[in-house]
Amino acid sequence: MHDRFIFFMAFVLLVFVSCKYNPKADSSENKAVDPFMEPGKIEIYDSMAITIIDPNANFEILAKGFYWTEGPLWIDELQAVIFSDIPANKIYIWSEKDSLGIYLESAGHTGEENTDSGKGPNGLILDHENRLVLCQHGDRRIARMDADVKNPQEQFITLADTYEGKKFNSPNDLVMDRAGNIYFTDPPYGRPENRTGEIGFNGVFKVSADKEVYLLLDSLSWPNGIALSLDEKTLYINQSDPENPVLYSYDIAGDGSLENGKILFDFLGIAENGRGLPDGLKIHKSGNIFATGPGGVHIISPEGKHLAAIKTRKATANCAFDTGHEYFYMTTTDVLMRVKLK
C-alpha cells in the first residue's frame, strides 16, 4: 500500500509540473471543446443575473499553454484582446481574424538587472488617448508604451515608480478615471519570495494626470485587482489574502481620499471548494462587479449580493469585456477563454 501511494504521488507531481511549465502557447483548433480541460459551468444565484448571462453559455478556449496569464484588455482599434504572460515577460494578442500572436516582448522587465522569472507585465489599460499603460513587475513601475497600439514597440515612459523616494514593490493592477487619474495596487507578487520591498508596505496608490503620486491605503495585506464604479464614486479592491479573501469597497471623497471602507463580499466561505483567490475585477455596464475569486469569476451586485458564478474550474487571474460587453474574456492560469454575454 505504501509503494502504491508513493507511485501515485509521484505521478500527480509529474503531471502538475508538466502542465505548469509548458512553455509553448497555442491557439485551440476547436475553441468550444478542449481535450485538456473539462468545460466549466455557470451557476445562477439570483434572477437578476439572467439578464446578463445565459446559464448555458459555452466556454470557448481561445489559446492555451502559457505560464500565468493576466491583465486581459480589449482593444477595439485592433478588434483583439491582449493579455500578459507574467513569467514569460510577454504580452500576447488574440483575435478572431488572426488567432494568437505575440504583441510585445520584454514587456515587464526591460533591464539586465531584472531578468528573474515572474517579473513580467501584469495589469493593462488604455488611457484616454488610446495609449497602452501597464504595470511592470520587473521595472517596478507604472509605464506607458511609447508607441501606437497598432505598432507596438518595447519603448516605455515611466509614469510612476516611487513613493517618497522609495521604489514600489511590483505594481499589479490599475484603472483610470475620466480625469486621467490612475489608481493601482502594489503587492509584492513580482518580488523574490513575495517579500515587501523597501517601501515597507503593500499599498494602494493614485497617480494624477501630472504624475503626482498619492498613497490611498497602506492597511491591506494583499491588495490586488482594482476597479471604479460607473459613477466613479466607489473604488473596489480585491484582496488575495488566503486568510482574509475579500472584496472591499471605498467611497471616494471630494479631496480624492478614500473613506467608509467595508467588506462588500467575503470569499472565505467558498474558498475551500474553488481554486484561486480574489484577483482581477471589472465592472459590467449594468454596474455589477465581475470579480475573480475561488472557482472562477463571481458576479456581485454593488450592494454585495452574489448573483452568479462563472466556474472556470481553474485559478482565474483577471477578466475583461469587449467594447459592447458581448464577450467576457478570462485569463485562467495557462488558458485564455471567453463566454458570450447577453
Domain assignment present for residue 268? The answer is yes
Q: How confident is the model over 258-289, as pLDDT tens digits?
A: 999 999 999 999 988 788 999 999 999 999 99
% of the chain at pLDDT higher than 70: 87
Total domains in the chain come to 1
Tell me the pLDDT of the chain averaged across its residues.
Answer: 89
Domain region containing 307: 21-340
Distance CA 77, CA 133 (A): 16
Domain assignment present for residue 13? The answer is no
Q: What is the mean pLDDT of residues 143-157?
A: 97
Q: What is the mean pLDDT of residues 244-256?
A: 96
What's the whole-model pTM score? 0.89
Domain assignment present for residue 6? The answer is no
Domain assignment present for residue 9? The answer is no
Task: Say which CATH number the domain at 99 has.
Answer: 2.120.10.30
Domain assignment present for residue 3? The answer is no
> Is pLDDT at 47 greater than 80 in this prediction?
yes
Domain assignment present for residue 4? The answer is no
Domain assignment present for residue 8? The answer is no
Domain assignment present for residue 16? The answer is no
Q: What is the mean pLDDT of residues 166-171?
A: 96
